[in-house]
Amino acid sequence: MPNRYTRESAIESEAVNALTWQGEVFYRRLINRVDDFGRMSADIRILRAKVFPLQLDKVTEKDVARLLTETESVGLVFTYDTSGKRFLVMNKWEQGRAKHSEYPPPPSDICERMQTYVYKGKQKFADAPDTDSDSDSNSDTEERMTIARELISHLNKQAGRHFRPEGSSLKAACARLSEVKDDASGVMAMIDRQCALWKGDPVMDEFLRPETLFRKSKFAGYYDNRNLPALRKGDKSAPASQPLLKPL
């Protein structure tokens, strides 16, 4: 199990501070138990044994179920079902060194929910620090929003997905368009390159989503490399200097 740490900003996080002290203990222990993709089984029996291995006489399954619901209610954790089994994924998670997860990835609707969540009636971006989110802006013209919808539709076509061109995805696409002075063709070229690089890859394919491609902290790197050859890792013709951009 790799060493894990929490950012100093967690102390001032509204979501973390909304937890009861028991909820925060559960959340911090969970950080040390999930895999490098931030995932693990959400089976209450397994969670109880892994998160509180030396306190089984003090912590009941009912307690763990309550704590899991509490952390999910503030957007720190999301649960999902696959093949009749329940799993969880941590939000704001930076992928570790592992190339594969033993747990299935969350479905697209969960990824959309992870991108934004509602806290105290206010919609916030959950996949980035509070100071790195895309705020609502009246400067997004109808023309820019139309282009942003076309970009998401283009991503769907190239990646074989069905993301809806609305909500947080649309907001992020508009924000990135503004940053590159509405260079729609350049953003499409970026999408085409990332699809050529990642589509069909057992690890990277799941990152072909608005949440990753239009993320504020990652977009510039993808956009700046839009005209580079789309050479997959392991291709002998790939130049040694070609940058590797790691999605979150």
pLDDT of residue 132: 41
pLDDT of residue 1: 52
Question: Is CATH 1.10.10.10 what the domain over 8-106 is classified as, yes or no?
Answer: yes
pLDDT of residue 121: 42
User: Distance (Å, rounded) from C-alpha 96 to C-alpha 149?
Assistant: 32
What backbone phi and psi angles, to 5 degrees, belong to 29?
Answer: -70, -35
Tokens representing 96 are 């570790």
pLDDT of residue 39: 94
pTM for the model: 0.48
Q: Which residue has the tokens 């504020």?
A: 216
Instruction: For residue 79, list its beta bridge partners.
Output: 88
Tokens representing 153 are 């539709």
240 by Cβ neighbours in 10 Å (0-12 / 13-18 / 19+) ranks as exposed
SS (H, E, C) 43-88: CHHHHHHHHCCCCCCCCCHHHHHHHHHHHHHCCCEEEEEECCEEEE
pLDDT (tens place) for every residue of the chain, 248 residues total: 555 556 666 677 788 888 999 999 999 999 999 998 899 999 999 999 999 999 999 999 999 999 999 999 888 999 999 999 999 999 877 666 778 889 999 888 787 777 655 444 444 444 333 334 454 444 557 888 899 999 999 999 999 999 998 888 899 999 999 999 889 999 999 999 999 999 998 888 899 999 899 998 889 989 999 999 887 666 555 444 444 444 55
User: Distance (Å, rounded) from C-alpha 68 to C-alpha 98?
Assistant: 25
Tokens representing 200 are 């069909």
| Residue type, position 238, single letter | A
Domain with CATH 1.10.10.10 in the chain: 8-106
CB of 76 closer than 8 Å to CB of 91 = yes
